Copies of this chain bind each other. A is one copy, B any other.
Amino acid sequence: MRRNIQTMQSRVASLGARLRPHVKTAKCIPIARMQQAAGAAGITVSTLKEAEQFFDAGFDDILYAVCVTPNKLDTVLDLLRRGCRLKVVVDSVTGAQAVARKSQAAGIAIPTVIEIDTDGHRAGVKPEAEVLIDIGRALHDGGAQLYGVMTHAGASYAENTTAGLQRIAEQERSLCVRAAERLRAAGLPCPEVSVGSTPTALSARSLEGVTEVRAGVYVFHDLVMCNVGVCTPQDVALSVLATVIGHHVEKGWVLVDAGWMAMSRDRGTQAQAVDWGYGAVCQVDGSLMPDWLMSGANQEHGIVSRRDGAIPGDLAQVFPIGSQLRLLPNHACATAAQFSDYRVLGPDAEPRTWERFNGW
């Protein structure tokens, strides 16, 4: 994890941008502090609970990167009044008007970022859309603080070549910068240009015009990121320690006490080049057993079997009851969310526990 943090920080800094890590992956104060110590500037959150928890822990520069709704603006105002430099996001005139009205009513110009759609993946307005300027005006003229534009190239998860990743990264950069330029050309302020996803952040060749990069899952990495091509299994810093509870010898199944409750139901590698089922299998020391995978999952039962479907005769000897395995996750954000704390293996080999939180 330390190496992952350092790699991302160096990369973004070398391209001249600030890094604003997305803390939704780990939801863990000590981990965010390590990111901050490495040079991160502010954090990104996916819920207002994250904003509250991290602000209470001393993080005061926070971007809440999911479009805000009217029923959440009282919590936003509360955080702003307490000194949090919170930024919210909108992608519609309706949303902008709600923020502007709340700003006026409260006498606090809520810092607001406009979400730009650079790949048709999810939310945001197209950089060339007329409504972009309308949203900017609704914010700026309505009493909110137009803080900038942001985008997330979710489509990068579908790439798995350097050329493809570089293309999406450049598309993300250039279209978000274009949106900022259009706002500025209309006489509106747009100081911040925020882009990011782990795949594009690790692939971009230029961040010209970009002020900050957001990325989250890189802190742990996972099997989906391995398939995308931005890490290897050796970089994956999150695993689930499971114990063998039995065997189904005729089927070649090793049963372990980690099911989907531990791994999550995320099957993110299903449509990728290498399908890892519910997870990759390692020995306790982290050595990958590439011929094996977690092929099935019930709530508290996992099924480990060979990728090629072969049925070894010595299953119960190789994986005796009570022995342990380390399982790597498809999607670190989803697997981590199944736990309330991390057992941390530090350089001194002294295990310790770091809390995380969940919920809203």
Q: Tell me whether A222 is interfacial, beta carbon within 8 Å.
A: no
Contact check, A94 vs B321: say whether CB atoms are below 8 A apart: yes
Contact check, B337 vs A24: say whether CB atoms are below 8 A apart: no
Residues on B with C-beta less than 8 A from A94 are 316, 320-321
Contact check, A337 vs B338: say whether CB atoms are below 8 A apart: yes
Chain A residue total in the interface (Cβ 8 A): 54
Q: Tell me whether A247 is interfacial, beta carbon within 8 Å.
A: yes
Contact check, B67 vs A123: say whether CB atoms are below 8 A apart: no
What string of 1s and 0s marks CB contacts (under 8 Å) between A315-332 and chain B? Answer: 010001110000000010
Contact check, A122 vs B303: say whether CB atoms are below 8 A apart: yes
Q: Tell me whether A300 is interfacial, beta carbon within 8 Å.
A: yes
Nearest chain B residue, comparing its CB with the CB of A337: B261
Contact sample, A vs B, 27 pairs, CB 8 Å cutoff: A46-B261, A47-B300, A66-B245, A66-B301, A67-B245, A67-B246, A67-B255, A69-B243, A69-B245, A69-B321, A70-B321, A71-B243, A92-B247, A94-B321, A95-B246, A122-B248, A122-B301, A123-B245, A123-B248, A262-B360, A265-B331, A265-B334, A299-B333, A299-B334, A337-B338, A338-B358, A340-B358
Q: Tell me whether A154 is interfacial, beta carbon within 8 Å.
A: yes
Name the distance in Å between A122's Cβ and chain B's nearest Cβ. 6
Residues on B with C-beta less than 8 A from A264 are 264-265
Contact check, A246 vs B321: say whether CB atoms are below 8 A apart: no
Instruction: Give the complex CA separation of A28 and B277 in angstroms.
Output: 31
Name the distance in Å between A309's Cβ and chain B's nearest Cβ. 16
Residues on B with C-beta less than 8 A from A235 are none
Contact check, B257 vs A69: say whether CB atoms are below 8 A apart: yes
What string of 1s and 0s marks CB contacts (under 8 Å) between A322-357 and chain B? Answer: 100000000101100111100000000000000000
Residues on B with C-beta less than 8 A from A333 are 299
Residues on B with C-beta less than 8 A from A247 are 92
Q: Tell me whether A267 is interfacial, beta carbon within 8 Å.
A: yes
Nearest chain B residue, comparing its CB with the CB of A300: B46
Q: Tell me whether A282 is interfacial, beta carbon within 8 Å.
A: no
Instruction: Give the complex CA separation of A71 and B262 in angstroms.
Output: 18
- 7 additional contacts (CB under 8 A) given A95-B321, A340-B358: A24-B299, A24-B300, A69-B257, A122-B303, A264-B264, A264-B265, A340-B359
Name the distance in Å between A6's Cβ and chain B's nearest Cβ. 25
